[in-house]
C-alpha cells in the first residue's frame, strides 16, 4: 500500500489527501489525479515526492453562482460537479 502525502490546494489552501492506494498510476489529467480540490478544480499529480508534484486544472468550466434577488448574497463560484 502506498500513501500519497497531504498537500495544500495552491488556490484555496485546503488540504488534499493523504491518500492510500494499492497502486499509483501516473496522472496527466485532472480526472487521473488521486488528490483533488473539487472546490477549485485543481488536482495534484500522483508523485510520491511532494517536490515533484505538479498541479493540473480541471477542464470542466466553473460556473458563477448568481445571487438571489433581494438578498445580500455575493456572486460565487460553483465547484465542478455541483
Distance CA 30, CA 21 (A): 17
27 by Cβ neighbours in 10 Å (0-12 / 13-18 / 19+) ranks as: buried
Which residues in the chain show pLDDT less than 70? 61-82
Fill in the DSSP letter of residue 41. T
The CA–CA distances, whole Å, from 32 to 4, 20, 41, 52, 56 equal: 14, 15, 13, 16, 10
At residue 62, the pLDDT reads: 61
Whether pTM exceeds 0.85: no
Amino acid at each position: 500500500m502506498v500513501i500519497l502525502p497531504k498537500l495544500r490546494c495552491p488556490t484555496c489552501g485546503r488540504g488534499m489527501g493523504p491518500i492510500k492506494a494499492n497502486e499509483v498510476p501516473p496522472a496527466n489529467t485532472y480526472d487521473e489525479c488521486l488528490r483533488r480540490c473539487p472546490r477549485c478544480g485543481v488536482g495534484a499529480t500522483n508523485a510520491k515526492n511532494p517536490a515533484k508534484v505538479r498541479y493540473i486544472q480541471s477542464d470542466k468550466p466553473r460556473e458563477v453562482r448568481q445571487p438571489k434577488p433581494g438578498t445580500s448574497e455575493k456572486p460565487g463560484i460553483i465547484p465542478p460537479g455541483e
